[in-house]
Amino acid sequence: LSLSLSPPAMAAWRGLAGPLYAAATTPLKACLAPATTARMVFASHRRLHFDNTNTTRRPADNIAKAHGRLGHSVHLSFDHGSFAVHVVPMADDNYSYLAVNRATSEAAAVDPCEASTALHIAMGAGCNLAAVLTTHHHMDHCAANEELAATVPGLPIYASDTRVPAYTELVSPTEQGAPLKIAGLPVIVLDTSCHTSGHVAFYLPGSPGALFVGDALFVAGCGRFFEGNGRDMLHTLMRLSLLPDNTRVYCGHEYTVSNLEFAAAVYPDCQIIQESLAWAQAKRNNLTPTVPSSIGMEKKHNPFWRAAAVATSEEEAVQILNDLRTRKDKC
């Protein structure tokens, strides 16, 4: 897919590659074509292999001690080398996360909407809550901020939008600068505006890297375009396509089955989507989270990513994404 970009967009595209490459633990795809054309990276549509390696299910007795039953899904943790990620189900279908520094036992909570759940899981994991990362201002992603700030004196709360309650650190995208240091871990802030105008994702380089993407991207879907449009979504996909394919994607909601049902309606003959749907249904039958996904998986079974891949220009890609989002909103 070759996209003819405006000069500002092209400059932003070209500026992303170097710093992200330096921060990532595996090389980025070579995805910049010469002069006035940028090439988005889309993996070939081959059979998906759902990798469950480096996955740890917390013992049932530890879960019970920490919080009892964790709502809509079981509690899992994933190994990323220097840090671990705990998947923390909240509310009806939300996911919050704890990124735990293995060397210091400091933890950053991502998008918590229930303070007690975040604190209990941190206690059960034997870590100290050292920061909060907020992807956007919707209350199902930040309702716990004020209570956590009152409970943990001096707790830094990172956000890029002044509408986020109790924020203490206002951050801007750092993909063209030095990573932030949060809970002792390097964190790159990525502009993922579309769902909301101030939406960001947090990328932690690791083995593999972890991307906390809020509602910008879901497993096989994306968030509604409340404050953005197809152009914003296209630029978000372009940024995310620069990350290694094995980057684990931790999104904000358990919407995977319905997203894949929609994908199957859009692409009824796509075997990969059918396999993904069967896999997700089996997971949910056991109350197992379908997160994390990966950048590589999303390039294959996410209908928004697939639809943009057939465009021959930026304008066509924007129109396709707008039309597809409108169609999904009517489901």
pLDDT (tens digit, 9 = 90+) per residue, 212-247? 999 999 999 999 999 999 999 999 999 999 999 999
Is 141 marked active-site?
A: yes
For 20-29, 44-53, 178-187, 322-331, which range has the lowest pLDDT when averaged over its residues?
44-53
Is 138 marked active-site?
A: yes
Please check the confidence at residue 56 and state whether its pLDDT lies above 50: no
Length of the chain: 331
Is 235 marked active-site?
A: no
pLDDT for the residue 70: 63
From 111, 161, 191, 215, the catalytic residue: 215
Q: How far apart are the first and last CA of the chain?
A: 29
Q: How confident is the model at residue 177 (pLDDT cuts 50, 70, 90)?
A: confident
Can you tell me the mean pLDDT for 181-201? Answer: 97
- Give the predicted TM-score (pTM) of the model: 0.82
pLDDT for the residue 217: 98
From 67, 75, 120, 195, the catalytic residue: 195
Tens-digit pLDDT profile for residues 238-286: 999 999 999 999 999 999 999 999 999 999 999 999 999 999 999 999 9
Average pLDDT, the chain: 83
Burial 260-283, CB ≥16 within 10 A → b, else e: bebbbeebeebebbbbbbebbeeb
Is 215 marked active-site?
A: yes
From 138, 199, 235, 301, the catalytic residue: 138
From 111, 140, 161, 245, the catalytic residue: 140
From 120, 136, 199, 301, the catalytic residue: 136
37 pairs with which residues across the strands? 4
Q: Between 230-240 and 314-329, two packed helices, what is the crossing angle to 10 degrees?
A: 110
Is 195 marked active-site?
A: yes
SS3 130: strand
